Structure 1
Amino acid sequence: MVSDKKINVLMCGTGEYTTGWTGSGASQSDKKIGVVALTLFDLRRLGKVDWLGMVGVNGGKFPAIREHLDKNIGGVYKDMNLTFEEYPKEGKVDPEAYKAAIDELKPGDAVIIFTPDSTHFPIALYAIERGLHVLITKPAVQKLEHHNVLIEAAKKQGVVCWVEHHKRYDPTYSDAKARVSTLGEFNFFNAWMAQPKSQLETFKAWAGKDSDISYYLSSHHVDICCWILQDIAIPTRVVASAAAGIATSQAFQCVPNTEDTITLMIDFQSLKSPHHKGTAISTASWTAPLKSGVHTSQHWYYMGEKGDLAIDQAHRGYEVTNDDTGKAWVNPFYMKYSPSMTGHFDGQRGYGYISIEKFIDASRSVNEGQAKPEEFDGHGFPTIQNTVLTTAILHAGRISLDEKRPVNIKRDGDKWILE
């Protein structure tokens, strides 16, 4: 049962995933009008959300963002209230504007964080310590020790803290997890995820400076792997390798040492048998070819003791050809942007939408005393507790690249550590 009481939500981050607006204008990806703001506007229409705020670093962007939202959301869907409070105000530039915005909220309100990876931890901790529920885009944080701090802080404050791993809500991935449970011991997992070189322009402000392609893209499939193996095996060691040269070329001019493609090789140990070990490989790139028909090429293969399965989420048997853009393979299960027959937003069944709605529902339930935050750990949701091994693997991969060595993952009491 979910409360009838609405919740106030602050959006941290004003970029592509929140608004569909980037540093170079409207996004040209499959998120042309964003995901977060659109979903929250619709949840307000449906009576789950009340006040909305949005905070960035440069307040001067808001006039263009509002015009973009008015045209592409307000001008397309019926009954959408697009009002939101902006921070920083009066067009000011303030890297810590999130503090002033969060300070205006009250315990039980919610914060959704879609900002550069390196800023997730301070924003999330600031919000949690003030009794706010928090949803963080992947990767939750870049360091395992920071993830452990958020686990403890959320537990102390009694708030919901989840990571927006929306792939867990993809019906194909969810079905695969159920089927894997019948395949016995884990043996091999191989995942590929790539986006076109144009992403280097979209992310140039932080690519190679604040984060890397493994944190940005491999976080999806590393989490899926850990989720699938939750009761089967645990990671024990990570070795990483990287390709480079395209991002730092004259064409893109990313900062020195920006990797093009990163591969993580992860050793797993069975939880039930000391004799069974497995290997997972996760590769991510933002230097894939342009105009390949998909924005994100993504597939993975799983082999267990008693069988295997393969998923190609880039080509779902649904293709569209246009005179201007050529052939494209589309994914209607993620976000549906076409209006309903009545002219309203009609994307409530998309797993990008569901991921945010589930967090909103959980936060409202906790506010009304209908659930406790820790109850969601046992329900397969991407809680901060349930995603700790994802962070451990990604952090170990970064250390492996920087220090050119394998990194071990171990349990130390009730915490996971790297060595």
Structure 2
Amino acid sequence: MSKLRVAVIGCGSISKHRHIPEYAANPHVELVAFVDPVGERAEHYASLHGGKAFSDYETMLSEIKPDAVSVCTPNATHAPISIAAAKAGAHVLVEKPMAATEEEGLAMIEAAKAAGVYLMVGHNQRFMPPHVKAKEVLSSGRLGKVLTFRTSFGHPGPEGWSVDGRESWFFRKPEAVMGAMGDLGVHKSDFIRWLLGEEVADVTGFIGTQHKEGTEVDDNAICVLRMKSGIIGSLVASWTYYKGEDNGTILWCENGVLKIGTDPNDQVIVELRDGTVERYKVGAIATNEKQVASGVIDAFVESIVTKTPPSVSGEEGLRSLKVILAAFESQNTGRVISL
């Protein structure tokens, strides 16, 4: 069969570390275009992988007519670019947060439906081997009912990750819309919904800018979530974990504790109340320092090739986004927000 012609829109760090190399490694894919307002970035990848460089996505869509695109641009532009790509007949993989508002997210879902293309959101936490293993352990039922949890995602901030360092769009509110919550918090809301297999019912959020100077976006957030079944827990997102990254989750259950990403050697640890301890080495959780395949690109490509709707659909991405938006509303109003 002919290869899937893919265009990457936005050639920053997430493209450099994840999208571009993972597409390049996928036997079903031909990279046909790279788009970036900084011309030499697009040129660089075109010279590396073939395909054509563009400085704007409209020209690329009309000229190349790709089968699929990855939207790896600043948050504020996710919706307009995704909608334009869908209208041009391309399947869309959009980075998280999928949109800046619920209305934008709904418009993206509608555009994909109308065009008969898939819309997938790049929530990679679901695909990481330790997280997959943890869900398997929970599903086995031997821990009994989940009672409470805490899940956190923190690192020293985008200045060490973004191709533009401290000058990155991540710190400019008109482009970023939100900070650590859009970068990391939305990953965790998606992860906890998926892991527990249920929706968030109520959210409170304490969100602020604690330490990053000269920016209006949040660099820290602590949220309390109540799930539909009554499970309560905390969700933390931070850009000020200067001593290193944390992507850890602990679930306290009737029959014991499930620890994920808390130990450098054993990624999943089950401690049962009868004294039994199970330790699993199941591959790393991807970090900024240690890039491992995200699983997202392969899942997106497989979805198109097999004509199977993606598991992380636009609807799923929107449910995870709404948790984060509710946390901001809680911060602004001082109220508990019900979803």
TM-score norm. by structure 1 comes to 0.68
| Correspondence for 2:51 | 84
Give, in whole Å, the separation in 1 of the partners of 2:112 and 2:146: 32
Aligned partner of 1:118: which letter? A
Paired residue secondary structure (2:59): helix
Paired residue secondary structure (2:37): coil
| Correspondence for 2:20 | 37
Give, in whole Å, the separation in 2 of the partners of 1:86 and 1:9: 13
Contiguous gaps of at least 5 residues in structure 1:
20-33, 71-80, 89-96, 249-253, 271-276, 319-330, 339-346, 410-419
Flag the 1:154–1:186 CA change in 2: closer, same or farther, 3 A: farther
| Correspondence for 2:226 | 267
Flag the 1:314–1:144 CA change in 2: closer, same or farther, 3 A: farther
Is 1:191 the counterpart of 2:151 in the alignment?
yes
Paired residue secondary structure (2:231): strand
Paired residue secondary structure (2:24): helix
Could you tell me how far 1:10 is from its partner in structure 2? 0.8
Is 1:98 the counterpart of 2:51 in the alignment?
no
Tell whether the 8 Å contact from 1:208 to 1:259 is kept in structure 2 after alignment.
no
| Correspondence for 1:244 | 209
User: Within 5 Å, which residues of 2 pair with 1:14-413?
Assistant: 14-19=11-16, 34-43=17-26, 46=27, 48-62=28-42, 65-66=44-45, 82-88=49-55, 97-106=56-65, 109-181=67-139, 182=141, 183-197=143-157, 199=159, 201-202=165-166, 204-207=168-171, 209=173, 210=176, 211-230=178-197, 233-248=198-213, 254-255=214-215, 257-270=216-229, 277-289=230-242, 292=243, 294=244, 296-312=245-261, 315-316=264-265, 334=286, 350-352=292-294, 354-366=295-307, 371=308, 373=309, 376=310, 381-409=311-339
Contiguous gaps of at least 5 residues in structure 2:
268-282
Paired residue secondary structure (2:49): coil
Bigger proportion of residues as helix: 2
Could you tell me how far 1:127 is from its partner in structure 2? 1.1
When Rg is computed on C-alpha atoms for both structures, the one with the higher figure is 1
Aligned partner of 1:235: which letter? V
Tell whether the 8 Å contact from 1:142 to 1:394 is kept in structure 2 after alignment.
no
Paired residue secondary structure (1:139): coil
Paired residue secondary structure (2:65): coil
Tell whether the 8 Å contact from 1:36 to 1:356 is kept in structure 2 after alignment.
yes
Could you tell me how far 1:269 is from its partner in structure 2? 1.9
TM-score norm. by structure 2 comes to 0.83
RMSD across aligned positions (CA) = 2.8
Give, in whole Å, the separation in 1 of the partners of 2:167 and 2:193: 27
Paired residue secondary structure (2:33): strand
Tell whether the 8 Å contact from 2:71 to 2:92 is kept in structure 1 after alignment.
yes
Could you tell me how far 1:301 is from its partner in structure 2? 0.8
Write the deviation string for residues 46-82 of structure 1: whole angstroms up to 9, x where unpaired: 3x1124211112224445x45xx97xxxxxxxxxx62
Give, in whole Å, the separation in 2 of the partners of 1:313 and 1:98: 41
Q: How many residues align?
A: 314
Tell whether the 8 Å contact from 1:166 to 1:351 is kept in structure 2 after alignment.
no
